[in-house]
Chains A and B, each alone.
Chain A
Amino acid sequence: MGERVPAIHVGVITTRGRLIAAFAVLMAFGWWITAQPPFSTAGTVGILLVGGALIALARHWRRRGAAPTAPDEPEATEGLWVWVVILLAILVWELITFVSHPREMHPTISSITDTLEAEHVVRWLLFGGWLAIGWSLAA
């Protein structure tokens, strides 16, 4: 029964395994990055390195044909306006609060998350979310 598994599955699992390993390395590096002092050169270089590595990884993943193809079916584009409107509304409200003062009266996304980011573990978990967003943009 075991021999019914096609050989191509082994290849996909191996690629996924490598991808998971690469993410684990980036997350481990992220622990160090999120421990750096504010506005540090090491932190800035670290973010650029991780960002560059993730984009390169995504390109490699796409070139190998492992990434899912862009959805062409009508339902993928039909309700797209809902997301466009929500994302634009978030962007516009962020800009409005950003130019409004004082900050305590007009909190932006980052001033709200600053409280959460006081904890290193939370900052590191948010770093994981940032990687996931980057992957969905680049892959």
Chain B
Amino acid sequence: MSSRQITFVVWGALAACVVAAVALSLTTRKVPTLGAAITVLVRRRYVQVACLAAWLWAGWHFFVRSSR
């Protein structure tokens, strides 16, 4: 198995984990929804500021760096 294939397998597994967590959050009450999890995580001011800074950077990274 090449490094490229391993990388894609891990990305696929992580995507599957996200889908599974979303499904669990919608069908059971054991896992909060992603929205509820984000709300809890950004309760602390410094976490919110760090997340918003990362979000702004991601916007630049995805839409300015790679814009055509």
Contacts and interface: CB of A to CB of B under 8 A. Distances in A.
Interface residues of A, number: 56
Interface in B13-68: 14, 17-18, 21, 24-25, 29-32, 34-43, 48, 51-52, 55-56, 58-68
A80 B4 contact: no
Given A71-B32, A90-B14, A105-B2, A136 B63 contact: no
Interface residues of B, number: 43
Nearest to A97: B7
Chain A residues touching B, majority SS: helix
Nearest to A119: B68
A42 to B, nearest CB: 9
A47 to B, nearest CB: 5
A75 B38 contact: no
B29 to A, nearest CB: 5
B31 A130 contact: no
Contact of B3 (A71, A106, A110): A106
Nearest to A51: B56
A129 B17 CA distance: 20
Interface string A10-53: 00000000000000000000100111111110011011101100
Given A51-B55, A137-B55, A130 B62 contact: yes
